[in-house]
Amino acid sequence: MSVDVRPVTGGRDLKAFIDLPFRLHANHPLWVPPLKLERRIFLSRRLNAYFSHAEAEYFLACRDGQVVGRITAQVNHASNDHHGRRWGDFGWIEFEDDAEVLEALLSAAHRWLAARGMERMVGPMDFQMNDECGVLIEGFDLRPMVRQPWHPRYYQQRMEAAGLVKAVDLLMWDLEVADRAAMLPVLFELAEKVQSEHGIRLRKMTRRGLRKDLDLFGEIYNEAWKDNWGFVPLGGKDLDAYAQEMQLVFDSDWFMVAERIDTGEAVAIAITAPDVNQVLMRMNGRLLPFGWLTFLRKKRYMDRVRVGFLGVKPEYQHTGVAAKLYVEHFDVAAVTAFKAGEMGWILETNTAMNRGMEAMGGRVVKKYRMYERVFGRS
C-alpha cells in the first residue's frame, strides 16, 4: 500500500500524532514515555511561546488506515531574522522502519517549507535547539535524560540513506559529580581565586525569584551563546515559558548565578535540572489514576542531573568563574542524593567547553546528529 501524508487536523489527528511513539517504542526498555498532557500543551499554537515568532505544520503518514510516521515543518522567524537567512526546520520525527515512509514525510516537510521561500531544511528539533533535538547516533544503551530524545538505530541509517547530510553533532558528557578526584587540580585553584581576585560570588536561585533570575539568564545566554550554531536570542515570552517549565524541575541546590559583589551584575549562570525522566518512566505518559502521586514523590526516584546551561559572559571568561561553577556542582553532589549526571548538549565544535568537560573527568556517552537538506538537491 502507498503512503499518504496529510496535515494534522482536529483532536483525533493530534492524539494519533502524540500516541505514535508509544506504539513504536513502548516495548523498548530505554524509551521514556513523555507525559501526554504536557505534549498536547507543548504542541498548542496558542499556549507555546515558540509560536509568537514562528509557524509550523504537523503531518501524519498513513498506510492502509494506520499511522506509520509523523513530522513537523516549521519556520522560526526570530532565528531567520537574527541570522539573515531563509532556513526551515523539521522535527518531531517518528517513523516505522521503512524508507518509503521517511521519504514521504521529508518530502511533505520539504514542500511546505519551500512554498514559504525557505532554502534549506535543518533538523530534527522539537521545535528549537533548546528543546529535544538531533537523532541519536551513539549511546543507544543509555536511557535518555530530561529533554533528550531516544531513537532506534535505524533512524540514522534511514535518514542518511534518504540523502540528509550531517550539519553538526551534539555531545553529551557523563560526569560523576561525586568524584572530585577526577577533576584537574587547576580547576580548584581557579575557583578559589574568583572572589578574592575578581570580586565574584555565587548565589543560589529561589523558586520565588526564578522569573526575575531568568531575565539574567536571558541576558547571559544572549551574550555567551550568540556565536553558537543554531543560536536564537531569547525574548521575554520565551523566558516566561521557561519559568513555567522549570518550576517542575526546580531545585535550589542546582540553579545558580555568579555575580559581581560591587555592582550585582550577573556574569555567569548554571541551570542544572534533576532528571525527571527517572520519574516519567514510571508514569507511562499519564497523570491518572496514580501518575500524579508518583510525580509528587519524584525526589525519591531521582539521583542524576542534567547540566543544561552553563555560560559566562565573554568579558568574564578569564576570571575562572566557570571553574567556580564546576566545583560548586561537585560540592552540591557531596551533600545531596545526586551523584552523577550529564552535561550538554555541547556542540562538537565548541572546543573550550569540550576541554572543560575533559578537565572535569567527563567522557562523551551520547551523540546526537543534526541533519540538513539544501533545496534543489536530492
Please name each of the domains of the chain with its CATH number: 4-171 (3.40.630.30), 177-361 (3.40.630.30)
- The answer to whether the beta carbons of residues 309 and 217 sit under 8 Å apart is yes
pLDDT value, residue 41: 94
pLDDT value, residue 49: 93
pLDDT value, residue 152: 95
With vertex at residue 287, the alpha carbon angle to CA 282 and CA 288, rounded to the nearest 5 degrees, is 105
pLDDT tens digit string along 194-234? 999 999 999 999 999 999 999 999 999 999 998 889 899 99
Handedness of CA 46, 130, 288, 57 (dihedral sign): positive
CA 195 to CA 320: how far, in whole Å? 10
Strand partners, 312: 268
CA 224 to CA 226: how far, in whole Å? 6
pLDDT value, residue 321: 95
pLDDT tens digit string along 1-55? 799 999 999 999 999 999 999 999 988 999 999 999 999 999 999 999 999 999 9
pLDDT value, residue 54: 96
pLDDT value, residue 378: 45
pLDDT tens digit string along 179-205? 777 777 888 899 999 999 999 999 999
pLDDT value, residue 290: 61
**321-335 and 185-198 are packed helices; what angle lies between their axes, rounded to 10 degrees?**
110
pLDDT value, residue 289: 67
* Segments in the chain below pLDDT 50: 378
pLDDT value, residue 170: 97
pTM of the model: 0.91
Find cell 524541575 and name the residue: 249
CA 122 to CA 110: how far, in whole Å? 10
- Residues whose CB falls within 8 Å of the CB of residue 274, separated by 6 or more in sequence, listed in order: 146, 249, 251, 254, 298, 299, 302, 304, 305, 338
